[in-house]
């Protein structure tokens, strides 16, 4: 866990333990979901097999530190401007589902930390993201989801394979 993740964990823990917290009021659910997303984005960003093929084709090094936002994130990224290929950062467990897991837990800092440690982030092609959305898994988990041994259900159902390759983002936090 890096310093950014440590601060996000402490902040999430503090907020979810506020007496009378109402996720339906105002923007609190949005705020917490964004904090959960940013926690995942500060760790390793894994790469789908299809993304790996694209990056290999263009000679992009992997398994290294990178300023992800300026390099790959959105239409203003260097990669998109040069190659017109758009990537999407996807949380293997959608952030709203992570929040539900946290809210239904004992809300201790250790439990929240364990839940957030499953916040795996994968760089996928826009087409792979469309496949997830088209099959109804944009913000849903599969019926056989299990935090301990089956976080990959959405990907398996959509035929998305994840390589062992990754980036470590050293740039500004993005969402």
Does residue 81 register a pLDDT over 90?
Answer: yes
Q: What is the pLDDT of residue 70?
A: 87
Distance CA 170, CA 37 (A): 16
Average pLDDT over residues 69-89: 89
Q: What is the pLDDT of residue 174?
A: 62
Q: How confident is residue 147, by pLDDT bands cut at 50, 70 and 90? A: confident
Instruction: Please tell me the pTM assigned to this model.
Output: 0.88
User: In this predicted model, what pLDDT tens digit does every residue of 10-35 receive, in sequence order?
Assistant: 999 999 999 999 998 889 999 999 99
Does residue 175 register a pLDDT over 60?
Answer: no
Q: At what angle do helices 3-16 and 109-116 cross, to 10 degrees?
A: 120
Distance CA 45, CA 129 (A): 15
Q: What is the pLDDT of residue 143?
A: 86
User: In this predicted model, what pLDDT tens digit does every residue of 35-71 receive, in sequence order?
Assistant: 999 998 888 899 999 999 999 999 999 999 998 888 9
């Amino acid at each position: 866990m890096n310093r950014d993740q440590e601060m996000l964990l402490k902040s999430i823990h503090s907020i979810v333990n506020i007496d009378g917290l109402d996720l339906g009021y105002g923007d609190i659910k949005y705020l917490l979901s964004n904090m959960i997303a940013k926690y995942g984005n500060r760790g390793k960003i894994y790469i789908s097999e299809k993304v790996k093929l694209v990056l290999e084709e263009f000679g992009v090094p992997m398994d290294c530190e990178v300023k992800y936002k300026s390099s790959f994130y959105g239409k203003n990224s260097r990669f998109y401007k040069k190659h017109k290929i758009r990537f999407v950062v996807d949380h293997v467990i959608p952030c709203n589902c992570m929040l539900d897991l946290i809210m239904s837990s004992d809300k201790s800092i250790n439990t929240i930390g364990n839940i957030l440690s499953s916040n795996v982030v994968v760089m996928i092609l826009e087409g792979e993201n469309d496949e997830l959305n088209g099959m109804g898994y944009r913000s849903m988990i599969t019926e056989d989801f299990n935090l301990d041994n089956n976080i990959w259900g959405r990907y398996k159902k959509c035929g998305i394979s994840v390589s062992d390759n990754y980036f470590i983002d050293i740039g500004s936090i993005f969402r």
